[in-house]
């Protein structure tokens, strides 16, 4: 990722050990072997070949501290949160709320109570569409998205459109997969009620000019929702510096567990929003005549939450934060460049998405073989990649494609794994060519 790869301050080049005992890497270097040692799952063979896990954009693997935090919760202090007077419930509540603090710190949220735990990014976006959307968007107003959005940032707005009579406006994507800020900004008008955009495309890796778009939206008083799913594992995210009003992401793509994600929202917006779901935990009082509700975050967390998973997400945030995220971004950028070079050299292979500012995702097709055949063959070489539409069918259509093969890199990937992929693709070429 070009931006993040550039060190923002040329400070000490000396490795140091932080409070959690992790060694911070020297500037722009990452001890990948040390990182890999934290991931038990990576040290295995498939079909007699070392596993090369290159499906991180779909879901990433879990380091020992995340597994340990979740195991510790279940083995030593697990109980339901908030309602209990007994000791375990209090300890469990402290850890659950402690995880919220860790996440707030991780994204530089101004307030901890702006962090709402959800099932994932999908639920976070649905929460905004349902709660903010139904309360504040009026028939005839527009929600502005881009053509590269994940289905989870399209369909919730369509559902709202069908309920409310709002309109969905779609800003175009360039041939190289980039989104020009002007292409979005010129669609902002007096009817725009919300701008909802990805920070990084899951299908092509393009990094969007969020800040510029947010500044333009704010100049017209329009809130901006950012889908940060594909950014949060790879770079330092500061929701304030980004200019987001809502920020959505999933735990399982940032080395945390499934079943947990986050909606961060500006406190003044959250306090004006009606409940998303009703039930236990989100009320202050209930009678058959009427109920009253808590404010954020608990007013948006109806029912027993994903307690163990939230604790795991807090551990993932701590684990990621213990690394130099600029060094992580630089490492992944080098993998992107190396993979682009190796894959470009394969005859009949075409890479989709060549944006200048790009995360470590390489989407491609091969003249010789269907994406699913490619995925199946490279699997036999121990390489895990994804083939399909990546939940971005309108984007695929933009390029006249039904699917691509996608290799997506994370903190623990290596150049040898890129070689393993490239060699396996060479076999595909020879088999089908
Ligand atoms: N947005 C983007 C950009 C994504 O990549 C994904 C997951 N592929 C989502 C949203 C949805 O995340 P989840 O399925 O974890 O809710």
Residues β-bridged to residue 17 = 23
What does the pLDDT read at residue 83?
79
Digit-coded pLDDT (tens) for 203-214: 999 999 999 999
Taking a C-beta distance cutoff of 8 angstroms, is the pair 4, 329 a contact?
yes
Q: Which helix (H) or strand (E) is 20 found in, with range?
A: none
152 CB near ligand 1 (under 6 Å): yes
388 CB near ligand 1 (under 6 Å): no
403 CB near ligand 1 (under 6 Å): no
Q: Per-residue pLDDT averaged across 293-316, rounded?
A: 98
149 CB near ligand 1 (under 6 Å): no
Q: Which fold has domain 32-56+324-432?
A: 3.90.1150
Residue 431 CB burial class (10 angstroms; 0-12, 13-18, ≥19): exposed
Q: Per-residue pLDDT averaged across 307-331, rounded?
A: 97
Digit-coded pLDDT (tens) for 373-423: 999 999 999 999 999 999 999 999 999 999 999 999 999 999 999 999 999
What does the pLDDT read at residue 5?
33
> pTM for the whole thing?
0.93
What does the pLDDT read at residue 28?
65
What does the pLDDT read at residue 3?
38
For the chain, what are the domain ranges?
A: 32-56+324-432, 66-321
What does the pLDDT read at residue 18?
41
Question: Which residue, judged by its Cα, is nearest atom 12 of ligand 1?
Answer: 121
- Does domain 66-321 fall under CATH 3.40.50.700? My reply is no
> Considering only CA atoms, which of 160, 184, 180, 157 is closest in space to residue 170?
184
What does the pLDDT read at residue 433?
77
Q: Is the pLDDT of residue 2 over 70?
A: no
Residues β-bridged to residue 382 = none
Distance 1 CA to ligand 1 centre (A): 19
Which of 154, 230, 250 is the pocket-test mutation for ligand 1 (most atoms within 8 Å of CB)?
250
Q: Is the pLDDT of residue 271 over 50?
A: yes
27: confidence class by pLDDT, cuts 50, 70, 90: low
Digit-coded pLDDT (tens) for 123-167: 999 999 999 999 999 999 999 999 999 999 999 999 999 999 999
User: How far, in Å, are 143, 170, 242, 310, 352 from residue 146 at the CA level?
Assistant: 10, 5, 18, 30, 17
Q: Please give the mean pLDDT across all residues of the chain.
A: 93
User: Percent of the chain having pLDDT more than 90?
Assistant: 92
What does the pLDDT read at residue 20?
41
Ligand 1 atom closest to 121 (CA): 16
Digit-coded pLDDT (tens) for 104-130: 999 999 999 999 999 999 999 999 999
Q: Per-residue pLDDT averaged across 205-233, rounded?
A: 98
Q: Is the pLDDT of residue 26 over 80?
A: no
Which residue out of 57, 360, 391, 425 is catalytically annotated?
A: 391
Q: Per-residue pLDDT averaged across 62-73, rounded?
A: 98
Report the alpha-carbon distance of residue 146 to residue 314 in Å, rounded: 31
Supply the angle between the helices 415-432 and 325-344 in degrees, to the nearest 10.
Answer: 20
Q: Per-residue pLDDT averaged across 41-57, rounded?
A: 98
Q: Is the pLDDT of residue 21 over 50?
A: no
Distance 284 CA to ligand 1 centre (A): 33
């Amino acid at each position: 990722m070009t931006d993040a790869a550039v060190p923002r301050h040329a400070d000490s080049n000396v490795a140091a050990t932080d409070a959690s005992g992790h060694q911070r890497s020297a500037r722009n270097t990452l001890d990948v072997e040390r990182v890999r040692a934290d991931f038990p799952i990576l040290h295995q063979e498939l079909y007699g070949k070392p596993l090369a896990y290159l499906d991180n954009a779909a879901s990433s693997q879990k380091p020992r501290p995340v597994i340990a935090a979740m195991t510790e919760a279940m083995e030593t202090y697990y109980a339901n949160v908030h309602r209990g007077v007994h000791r375990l419930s209090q300890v469990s509540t402290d850890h659950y709320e402690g995880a919220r603090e860790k996440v707030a710190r991780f994204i530089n949220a101004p307030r901890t109570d702006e962090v709402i735990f959800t099932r994932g990014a999908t639920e976070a976006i649905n929460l905004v569409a349902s709660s903010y959307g139904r309360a504040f968007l009026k028939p005839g107003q527009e929600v502005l998205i881009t053509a590269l959005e994940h289905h989870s940032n399209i369909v919730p707005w369509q559902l709202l459109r069908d309920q409310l009579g709002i309109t969905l406006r779609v800003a175009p994507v360039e041939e190289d997969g980039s989104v020009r800020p002007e292409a979005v900004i010129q669609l902002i008008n007096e009817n725009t009620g919300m701008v909802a955009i990805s920070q990084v495309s899951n299908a092509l890796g393009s990094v969007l000019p969020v800040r510029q778009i947010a500044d333009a939206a704010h100049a017209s008083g329009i809130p901006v929702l950012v889908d940060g799913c594909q950014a949060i594992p790879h770079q330092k995210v500061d929701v304030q510096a980004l200019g987001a009003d809502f920020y959505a992401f999933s735990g399982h793509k940032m080395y945390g567990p499934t079943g947990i994600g986050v909606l961060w929202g500006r406190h003044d917006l959250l306090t004006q929003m009606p409940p998303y779901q009703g039930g236990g935990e989100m009320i202050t009082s209930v009678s058959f005549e009427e109920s009253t509700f808590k404010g954020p975050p608990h007013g948006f967390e109806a029912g027993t939450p994903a307690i163990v998973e939230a604790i795991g997400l807090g551990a993932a945030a701590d684990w990621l934060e213990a690394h130099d995220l600029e060094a992580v971004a630089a490492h992944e950028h080098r993998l992107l460049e190396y993979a682009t070079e190796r894959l470009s050299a394969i005859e009949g292979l075409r890479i989709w998405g060549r944006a200048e500012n790009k995360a470590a995702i390489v989407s491609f097709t091969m003249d010789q073989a269907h994406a699913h055949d490619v995925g199946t063959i490279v699997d036999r070489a121990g390489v895990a990649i994804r083939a399909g539409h990546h939940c971005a069918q309108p984007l695929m259509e933009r390029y006249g494609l039904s699917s691509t093969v996608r290799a997506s890199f994370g903190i623990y990937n290596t150049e040898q794994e890129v070689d393993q992929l490239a060699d396996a693709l060479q076999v595909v070429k020879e088999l089908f060519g």
